[in-house]
């Protein structure tokens, strides 16, 4: 079962990402140590798409380097 959008947001916020807003259901998360923002779209209770899970995973891995 895929994670919910709210779970991905919680992972990003625990890692220090900040929601800088977005248009509509889009949210852009930035981190001072990350090169590019992570964009998540959808309602909080929606299942995350595989590309969204991958984007969050890659952003968190980039911070560990």
**What tokens were used for 16?**
């220090």
Question: What pLDDT is stored for residue 14 in this prediction?
Answer: 97
- Cα separation, 46 vs 27, in Å, equals 14
Question: What pLDDT is stored for residue 21 in this prediction?
Answer: 94
Per residue of the chain (65 residues), give pLDDT as tens.
Answer: 999 999 999 999 999 999 999 999 999 999 998 888 999 999 999 999 999 999 999 999 999 87
Are 52 and 8 in contact by the 8 Å Cβ rule? The answer is yes
Question: What pLDDT is stored for residue 15 in this prediction?
Answer: 96
Question: What pLDDT is stored for residue 41 in this prediction?
Answer: 97
Question: What pLDDT is stored for residue 49 in this prediction?
Answer: 98
- Cα separation, 62 vs 46, in Å, equals 26
């Amino acid at each position: 079962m895929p994670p919910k959008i709210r779970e991905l947001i919680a992972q990003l916020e625990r890692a220090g990402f900040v929601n800088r807003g977005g248009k509509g259901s889009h949210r852009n998360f930035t981190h001072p140590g990350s090169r590019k923002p992570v964009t998540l779209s959808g309602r909080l209770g929606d299942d995350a798409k595989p590309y969204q899970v991958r984007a969050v995973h890659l952003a968190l891995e980039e911070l560990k380097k």
